[in-house]
Every structure is written in structure tokens, then in C-alpha cells.
Amino acid sequence: MPAKDIPSHLMGLIKKAHRLELEYLNSLSEGERQAAGTYEQWAPKDRISHITYWRRRSVETLSYLSRGQNPPEYPEYEECNRQNFEETKNLSIQALLREAETVLSAFPLALARFSEEDFRKPNFHPYLKNRTLLGYAINDGYFHPLYHVTDAYLKLGNIAKVNQLQDQMVEDITAIDDTPGSFGTVYYDRACFYALTGNGEQAVDFLARSFTLRPDLVNWAREDGDLASLREDPAFQALLNSSDTTQPG
């Protein structure tokens, strides 16, 4: 893929995720869109605020990385989420969507600062740990938002939409990031939503694919609440017992 295509491809995915967020909101009543939630049980507008927060963090982090600098030391994940919730819980959905658009408009410049080699280079910066820059940008711009949209439809009982979004997610991400780690991650997420919608056979199949590429996820799967429906499944237990739990070097 030519270097100039990576930022545009990423922006296409980021904009696509945002369109799906808006599609979800538009399926709700005005009362549902404006409803207040709690930190333990988010309302629809809290999901939008959360997605926007992590996209904003991504833009900020990309700016630091483009200058070869370390991003600030942020609080722990849960603390960031709680702080953002408290700061935005009383805002209207209109105000939150305006902020979402502002953050989206900052992405093209943030992405354009990097070359194809930068995006795909292993160990581009210590902050990214084992992730590529491409994987980092995909996560906060597309993968993470799509997870929340899918989860929202799951809570509405719209299983057809859950499957549609998850199948599209697998196709979209593997089309731009063909690294084993990326495939392993998206297969695992797909397996989780199969398990959450009662399709145990497909869930185990995708977990098997995931563990082959990311054996570090085996131990995580043993405790993952999203896979609770598989706990008594002999095929799931056999997969856990047979999988290599050695972390990749």
C-alpha cells in the first residue's frame, strides 16, 4: 500500500465508525439520546463522550510521537474514564457531537505526519510497547468506537446488527493491517460477540484462530466475562487446555 494511502485509509475507517455512531443515535428517540446515565450504566450520550475522549487522546499522542517525544503520563484507564464521565455527564448530545466533529477534524494532520514505514515499523516508539503505530491509530479511531456501537446494539437485542458490524470490523481491519497480532485481536473480539449472542460454536472457532496468532490471550480468555457462556462448553475447555500459553517473544 503506498504511503499516502495509509492516512486516507485510516481516515476512511475513522469516518465510517463515526457514521455508525450517528446511525445508532438516529435509531433512538430524542429522550433516549438526551438521557442521563451513571458511570456504572452509561447512557447513549456517555458512549459518544467516551469514544471522543479516547480519539482526542489518540490525536494528542500522535502529535507527541511525530516529534519523537514521550506523551504525558496519564492516569490509569479507569480513572481517565471516570474523570471524563464526570466532566461531560451534564452536556447535551448536541454539545458532545460538536466536540466529536472537532476531534475528527484534527485526525488528518495528525496522521499525515507519518510515513508508511513509520506506521508499520515494529517498535516505532517505546510508548507503543508491542504495537505498531498503525495498530494504535486503528484502535482508538475505529476498533474501540465500533466495539461500543456494537455493544449498544447488543443491549438493544439487535443481534443481526451486532453480527453485521462485527463481520465488517474483521473485514475492515484485516484489509489494512495484516500483522498476526492484528488478526489475533480482531478474531478474539469477534469470538466474544459470538459468545455474547449465544453462538458458542463460532465463538470457539474464532478463539482457536486468535490463540494461534496471539497465544498471550489464552490466559485472558480464562477470566473474560464476555466468554462466560462458554465456561461449561467442552470444546472451549479443550481449546484452553490444548493452546500454547507461551507469550510471543
Q: Is residue 78 part of a domain?
A: yes
Q: Is residue 133 part of a domain?
A: yes
Cell numbers standing for residue 131? 504495537
pLDDT in tens, 160-194: 999 999 999 999 999 999 999 999 999 999 999 99
Output the domain CATH number for residue 101.
Answer: 1.20.120.450
Q: How many folded domains does the chain comprise?
A: 1
Whether the per-residue pLDDT at 2 is higher than 80: the answer is no
Q: Is residue 57 part of a domain?
A: yes
Whether the per-residue pLDDT at 4 is higher than 60: the answer is no
Whether the per-residue pLDDT at 3 is higher than 70: the answer is no
- Let me know if 160 is exposed, middle or buried by CB neighbors in 10 A (0-12, 13-18, 19+): exposed
pLDDT in tens, 33-69: 999 999 999 999 999 999 999 999 999 999 999 999 9
Average pLDDT over residues 77-81: 96
pLDDT in tens, 122-163: 989 999 988 999 999 999 999 999 999 999 999 999 999 999
For cell 443491549, what's the residue?
Answer: 155
Q: Is residue 176 part of a domain?
A: no
Q: Confidence band (pLDDT; 50, 70, 90) for 195?
A: very high
For cell 480482531, what's the residue?
Answer: 186
- Tell me the DSSP string of 173-232: HHHH---HHHHHHHHHHHHHHHHHTT-HHHHHHHHHHHHHH-TTHHHHHHH-GGGGGGTT
Q: What is the mean pLDDT of the chain?
A: 94
Q: Is residue 200 part of a domain?
A: no
Q: Is residue 228 part of a domain?
A: no
Spatial contact of 55 and 90, defined as CB atoms under 8 Å apart: no
Q: What is the pLDDT of residue 248?
A: 42
Q: Please give the torsion angle defined by the CA atoms of residues 117, 118, 119 and 120, in that order, rounded to the nearest 10 degrees.
A: 50
Helices 180-196 and 200-213: angle between axes, nearest 10 degrees: 160
Q: Is residue 227 part of a domain?
A: no
Spatial contact of 146 and 165, defined as CB atoms under 8 Å apart: yes
The phi and psi torsions of 67 (rounded to 5 degrees) equal: -100, 5
SS3 content of the chain, % helix, strand, coil (to 5): 75, 0, 25
Contacts of residue 225, Cβ cutoff 8 Å, sequence gap at least 6: none
Whether the per-residue pLDDT at 1 is higher than 90: the answer is no
Q: What is the pLDDT of residue 247?
A: 45
Q: What is the pLDDT of residue 139?
A: 95
pLDDT in tens, 208-248: 999 999 999 999 999 999 999 999 999 999 999 998 544 44
Q: What is the pLDDT of residue 244?
A: 53
Structural domain of residue 32, as residue ranges? 5-141
Share of the chain above pLDDT 70, in %: 96
Q: Please give the torsion angle defined by the CA atoms of residues 19, 44, 61 and 105, in that order, rounded to the nearest 10 degrees.
A: 40
Contacts 24+ apart (CB under 8 A), 219-225: 219/245, 221/188, 224/192
Q: Is residue 222 part of a domain?
A: no
